[in-house]
């Protein structure tokens, strides 16, 4: 079943109080602060660059970088940003924790073109998922997508989910950390295609598995807003989702133009714009649609781990269908 995301009615990650709301400049204009990701871009950032928010009353403001989804959600909960972005499992955990967030749209999809890849050096004895037990793996942050992908990979082979040692390494340092043998494996997230391309171009590495081997095709994560913003600015929230989805569709239909624009964005941030040539896109379905499996898969995993009570949550509880999407189903 395909569902268009518009809102979620439950709570969030850290069970801490919310403070503040999106900076309202007038009844018709709001500024949404967000944290960027090194070497990558979100569909809402792309929408802003394309001018899709012009006339909608929405202005985006980059206030720094996030090391990963948990940091982004923490910023959202504390009121220091107005847009969070996190892996699906982290979002579901946030719903169970009590803070009042809203999942706005899936930020990325995982498929054969857009995926997270786990690399070793060419001469490494590590050849399979079974071999990662007892090894050290560099991931961008703990408690997010790559962390859960490793746990699920180990579980799929009947191994303890904590059998590997995960360490947090910022994306720009992943390659150096692997080549200097500080870690056995470097995990390059689906959103880090620019770093992935650079690692492959420099040679001397090989992939042992990717997250599609473990998870199949699935949404990688969601953009998240606070409920108080959505309730105070329903039209702005709707425009935020619609224009972000429009930008994602544009990037899929115009990949070369999208890479050129990403290069400009990276250079504007002071990053290496040349890496944009490796960008593989958002991996989203048309219209940034989600399926029930995008959430039900991770709900099942979290129930199995004991992080969620059995049977309390299902995708239909978390996703609000629009009239059009409900009719399509």
Tell how far CA 269 is from the center of its chain: 20
Banded model confidence at residue 186, pLDDT cuts 50, 70, 90: very high
pLDDT tens digits for 265-290? 999 999 999 989 999 999 999 999 98
Q: Stretch 111-127: mean pLDDT, rounded?
A: 94
Rounded Cα distance, 132 and 137, in Å: 8
pLDDT tens digits for 137-155? 999 888 888 999 999 999 9
Banded model confidence at residue 227, pLDDT cuts 50, 70, 90: confident
Q: Which residue has the tokens 């602060």?
A: 33
Give the predicted TM-score (pTM) of the model: 0.79
Give residue 195's pLDDT.
87
Q: Is the pLDDT of residue 10 over 70?
A: no
Closest by alpha carbon to 43, among 230, 261, 326? 261
Q: Is the pLDDT of residue 1 over 90?
A: no
Give residue 207's pLDDT.
96
Q: Is the pLDDT of residue 320 over 70?
A: no
Question: What's the mean pLDDT when you consider all of the chain?
Answer: 85
Rounded Cα distance, 186 and 198, in Å: 13
CATH of domain 30-109+219-317: 3.40.190.10
Give residue 267's pLDDT.
93
Rounded Cα distance, 80 and 32, in Å: 10
* Structure token digits, residue 126: 């590590």
Q: Is the pLDDT of residue 12 over 50?
A: no
pLDDT tens digits for 164-185? 999 999 888 999 999 999 999 9
Banded model confidence at residue 132, pLDDT cuts 50, 70, 90: very high
DSSP structural state of residue 233: -
Give residue 319's pLDDT.
66
Within 10 angstroms of residue 55's Cβ, the number of other Cβ atoms is 8
pLDDT tens digits for 81-113? 999 998 999 888 887 888 778 778 999 999 988
Q: Is the pLDDT of residue 292 over 80?
A: yes
SS3 call for 12: coil
Rounded Cα distance, 236 and 30, in Å: 8
Q: Are strands 2-3 and 117-121 parallel, antiparallel or unpaired?
A: unpaired
Q: Stretch 256-269: mean pLDDT, rounded?
A: 94
Q: Is the pLDDT of residue 256 over 60?
A: yes
* Structure token digits, residue 210: 């990717």
CATH 3.40.190.10 domain span(s) along the chain: 30-109+219-317, 117-215
Q: Note the CATH architecture for domain 117-215.
A: 3-Layer(aba) Sandwich (3.40)
Rounded Cα distance, 61 and 58, in Å: 10
Q: Is the pLDDT of residue 6 over 60?
A: no
196: part of which helix (H) or strand (E)?
helix 193-202
Q: Is the pLDDT of residue 294 over 80?
A: yes
């Amino acid at each position: 079943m395909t569902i268009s995301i518009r809102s979620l009615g439950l709570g969030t990650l850290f069970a801490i109080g919310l403070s503040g709301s999106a900076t309202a400049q007038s009844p018709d204009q709001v500024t949404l602060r967000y944290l960027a990701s090194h070497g990558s871009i979100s569909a809402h950032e792309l929408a802003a660059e394309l001018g899709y928010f012009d006339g909608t009353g929405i202005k985006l403001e980059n206030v720094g970088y996030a090391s990963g989804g948990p940091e982004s959600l923490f910023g959202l909960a504390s009121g220091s940003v107005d847009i969070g972005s996190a892996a699906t499992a982290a979002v579901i955990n946030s719903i169970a924790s009590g803070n009042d967030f809203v999942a706005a749209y899936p930020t990325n999809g995982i498929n054969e073109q857009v995926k997270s890849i786990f690399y070793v050096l060419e001469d490494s004895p590590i050849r399979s998922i079974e071999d990662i037990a007892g090894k050290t793996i560099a991931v961008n942050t703990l408690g997010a997508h790559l962390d859960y992908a490793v746990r699920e990979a180990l579980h799929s082979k009947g191994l303890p989910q904590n059998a590997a040692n995960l360490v947090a390494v910022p994306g720009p340092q992943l390659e150096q950390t692997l080549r200097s043998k500080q870690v056995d494996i470097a995990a390059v997230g689906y959103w880090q295609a620019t770093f992935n391309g650079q690692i492959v171009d420099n040679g001397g590495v090989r992939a042992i598995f990717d997250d599609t081997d473990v998870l199949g095709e699935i949404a990688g994560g969601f953009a998240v807003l606070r409920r108080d913003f959505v309730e105070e600015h329903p039209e702005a929230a709707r425009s935020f989702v619609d224009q972000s989805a429009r930008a994602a569709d544009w990037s899929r239909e115009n990949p070369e133009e999208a890479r050129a624009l990403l290069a400009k964005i990276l250079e504007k941030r002071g990053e290496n714009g040349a890496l944009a040539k490796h960008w593989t896109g958002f991996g989203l379905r048309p219209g940034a649609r989600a399926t029930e499996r995008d959430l039900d898969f991770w709900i099942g995993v979290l129930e199995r781990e004991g992080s969620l009570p059995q049977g309390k949550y299902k995708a239909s509880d978390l996703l609000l269908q629009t009239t059009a999407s409900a009719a399509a189903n």
